[in-house]
Amino acid sequence: MQREAMIFLNRIDAGRKLAGRLSAYADRADVIVLGLPRGGVPVAFEVARALHAPLDVFLSRKLGVPGQEELAFGALASGGVRVLDEELIREIGIPEGEVARITERVKKELERRESVYRAGRPPLRVEGLTALLVDDGIATGSSIRAGAKALKQMKPARIVIAVPVAPASTCKRLKDEVDELVCLHMPEMFFAIGQFYEDFSQLTDEEVIDFLRRSAPPAVQKTA
């Protein structure tokens, strides 16, 4: 079987290439770029810099099946939104108490990261703006789907998911969740996001914070 070729050197390279597909959003006062930590932030940093748009962080984490944590039965996102795959929960037979326990554990981690990343930054405001939700790639789509649902509750004018790579099947499912989906590479054969990067090293919280510090300040929502 032929191995899928790597197409990105690293997340910085992916962000620069992704920005080229988002030029319609450049130099607009109504655009904000939101990076999903950790890996989506350096991609979003390059997108925001190329578009001359503010960068902020948006958190979303999957809820993993006990013993098969890579398999998501749902996700949590900023704003307190929870998305559950009820069919998968019934099929696997995850008890209601276990769902609640996992949800609470992930919620605490989300709150910790929110506190770390938002230190000194104003609360996220996207009402009336076009929000570009950026990650370094999508696998199942459960986390970014939760993010999109959370964003909808915050009343942006438009939501755009923008990623360097995702399976064609996942992109097809996500298209109806947002106003636009931009993906550079949609392979039919997909095993992991990292297979499309030469360097897919994990980032630390400190590195995420550094990208946020180096970016333009977040957009401030105008009030009447």
Task: Classify strands 158-165 and 55-57 as parallel, antiparallel or unpaired.
Answer: unpaired
According to the model, what pLDDT value does residue 216 have?
59
Which of the 8 DSSP states describes residue 30?
T
Residue holding tokens 């770029």?
A: 33
Task: Assign 44 to helix, strand or coil.
Answer: helix
- Do you know the residue count of the chain? 224
According to the model, what pLDDT value does residue 222 have?
44
According to the model, what pLDDT value does residue 144 have?
85
According to the model, what pLDDT value does residue 217 have?
61
Give the integer Cα–Cα distance in Å for 130 and 28: 9
- Angle at CA 216, nearest 5°, toward 34 and 144? 5
According to the model, what pLDDT value does residue 174 have?
93
Task: Classify strands 130-134 and 158-165 as parallel, antiparallel or unpaired.
Answer: parallel
Q: Specify whether the CB–CB gap between 135 and 43 falls below 8 A.
A: yes
Domains of the chain listed by start with CATH number: 11-60+125-214 (3.40.50.2020)
Give the integer Cα–Cα distance in Å for 160 and 118: 22
pLDDT (tens place) for every residue of the chain, 224 residues total: 344 457 899 999 999 999 999 999 999 999 999 999 999 999 999 999 999 999 999 988 888 899 888 778 888 887 677 888 899 999 999 999 999 999 999 999 888 888 899 877 787 889 999 999 999 999 988 778 878 887 888 899 999 999 999 999 999 999 998 999 999 999 988 999 999 999 999 999 999 999 999 985 655 444 43
According to the model, what pLDDT value does residue 5 have?
58
Which of the 8 DSSP states describes residue 67?
T
